[in-house]
Each structure stands twice: as C-alpha cells, then as structure tokens.
Amino acid sequence: MSADDWDAQLLYFLDKGYRVVAHDRRGHGRSSQVGDGHDMDHYAADIAAVVAHLGLRNAVHIGHSTGGGEATRYVARHGQDQGRVAKLVLIGAVPPIMVRTEANPSGLPTEVFDGFRQQLAANRAQFYLDIASGPFYGFNRPGAQAAQGVVHNWWRQGMMGGAKAHHDGIRAFSETDFTEDLKVIGVPTLVMHGDDDQIVPIANSALLSAKLLKRGTLKVYEGLPHGLCTTQADVVNPDLLTFIRA
C-alpha cells in the first residue's frame, strides 16, 4: 500500500492543526522500486532518514500492520534519542512476531505465508483483489457489503508497488521478531486492534505486545477488521486524537 491509505487520518489531523507526514515504503507506492533492502532494518533506517531530513522532533509515530513493525523497530533503534519521538501507536500491527517458531508456538504456520508468496507470484493483481474484497476489511463476513471504492483503492495502491518488494516484504512482516524492540521502547504507546482481525490475529499480536511494552495501553475494538483505519475511521480517529493530546 502507500501513504494514500492514510487519507482519512491525514485530512482529519490537518483539520485539527497538526503537521502530518506519511511516506511510501521502499518498493511501494511512488517510492523507487529498488531490488534490495526489503526488511525491517532497512525500513526503519529509511524512516530515520526521512525524519532527519525533515528535522522532526517530538513526533507521534503511527504504524498499521507491517508499518506497525516498521515503526516499532524505528522507535527502538533510532527514535528515542534527541527528542525525536513523543509517542507511538500500533494499529493492527504485526509485533511481536507472526510466524510459528519454537519460541512462538502459537504463531501462524509458515505455510500460510508461503501461500501468500505463491499467490502473489502467480497472479498478484487477482491476489490483491481477493484480499481487499475479503478478509482485510471483513467484507467476507456474513451480511457484510463490500465497498467497491475501498477495494479498488487497495488494489490501485498495491499495483503501484513492485512485485519483488512485496514478495520480500512478506518475509519481513511475518518472520521478524520484535520482542526485544518492544521491551526497550520507553515512550507511551497505544496498541489498537480489532478483535475480528483476520490478517493479524489479535491473540498473537496486540495482546502480547501490550504486555511487553513499558508504557503500553491496549485498546480492543469489538468486531472490527484489520483495515479499521479506513472502514471505521470515525471510531479510530477520535481515539488517536485523545491519545495524542493526553
């Protein structure tokens, strides 16, 4: 996806008088489709470069899904010096770790992510339509009506990026262990998650992350999906504002 996926938040917080900065991850959106560096260390270093270039101080970093892992690693490794970061928000985020390992026996089997890679390689365009019209926004739930504009916008954003970046990114979001990152983060952190998230199950993510954080606050949304920032922006945005102003 790209910075466009934050439209509902960008406009909301601009209207509240905030400066809002969003970026397209390397290989995604309008950023260069480079062939390497599609891992959390590079993602975090890229954020650090943007922050330094813009001279940002006292910023609130908000990351959704893979971006939650990206923001976690940035704050842990780059953002706690020189007053760069005031607060952190993780929404439907992948930490601590998604894949099943000996240390994380309740994680998702690696075959799940192998399947993602296979579907992406076989027909990326169809795969993105299927994800957006199904589990990402909960449009596959009984009685749910898919918002076609939302589905098409998700697909548009996805197809702007590069297949290599997306293929490698699956490993980055599923296999990176953020446990130690979470433990060292000292800024106030809000962990927001829908309990009907079919992409990043809440039991293996938000519930664990909130316990590992020194100053973590957990906010669970009953029945809400992974893409809640888009479909339930009217619920998410005021809660973000309350946390930022606190």
| Enzyme catalytic residues | 65, 197, 226
Q: Integer distance in angstroms from the first to the last C-alpha of the chain?
A: 30
State the Cα–Cα distance between residues 150 and 68, nearest whole angstrom: 21
State the Cα–Cα distance between residues 84 and 140, nearest whole angstrom: 40
Strand partners of residue 217? 190
| Helix, strand or coil, per DSSP, at residue 241 | helix
Handedness of CA 31, 53, 171, 148 (dihedral sign): negative
Alpha carbon 162 to its chain centroid, in Å, reads: 18
Report angle CA 168, 174, 177 to the nearest 5 degrees: 115
Structural contact between residues 123 and 222, judged by C-beta atoms closer than 8 angstroms: no
CA distances 162 to 34, 68, 106, 112, 128, Å, are: 8, 21, 31, 21, 13
